[in-house]
Amino acid sequence: MVDYEAAKQAVKALLEAIGEDVNREGLKDTPDRVARMYAELTAGEGEDAGKHLQVTFRSDSDGLVLEKDITFYSTCEHHLMPFMGKAHIAYLPSGKVVGLSKLARTVETYARRLQIQEQLTSQIADAIDLYLEPRGVMVVMEAEHTCMSARGIKKAGSKTLTYACRGEFKDSAQLRSDVFALIKE
C-alpha cells in the first residue's frame, strides 16, 4: 500500500535536490501526481495473480493454445523507468483451459510491480503452470526499456526478448520453434 504523504514528500525532496523550484506553477501538483502514478504502476504488488487463473473450464482439447501480442507496461526496479512491450503465452492443456482474458490479467498483475523482465517472464510461466497444470507452458516477452533507450546508451528501438518454458516446452525444441513461428505470423 502506498503511503501517499511520504511519497509526495519524497518527490518534493527529489525535485528540490535536482535544483527545481517546487513552488513554480508547473510543479505545484507534481508530487501528488507522481505519488498517484506510482500507486497505479505498482498496483500489482501483493495481488495474487492466481485469482485470475482459478476459474477454469473443462476441455478435451490437447492442442496448442497461444494468446499473443498482449500489451504490457512495467517499471524497471533498477531505474524506476518504464519498459513496455508484448507478451505471448502458449500452453498445452491437460483437461482444462482458462478464459483468454485471464491470461492478459495475469500478465497485468505481474507487470504492475517494480520488476525486471526476466523475473516477470518466469512469474507468469510459473503461475500458469501452477494453476492450469498444463502439459507445458511457454511465455515469451519482448520489450523496450526506457532505461536503455532514453538514458545511458540511448539505443531507442532496441528490444529485449526473454522466454520461460515449463513441461513439454522445456524438452522440445520443435514446440518452441512452432511457438516462435506462430508469434511471427
Residues acting as catalytic residues: 76-79, 117, 145, 147
- Separation CA 84–CA 69 (nearest Å): 12
Cell numbers for 5: 504523504
With left for phi above 0 and alpha for psi between -120 and 50, is residue 154 left, alpha or beta? left
Sign of CA dihedral 40, 41, 43, 49: positive
**Coil/strand/helix, residue 166:** strand
Cell numbers for 21: 523550484
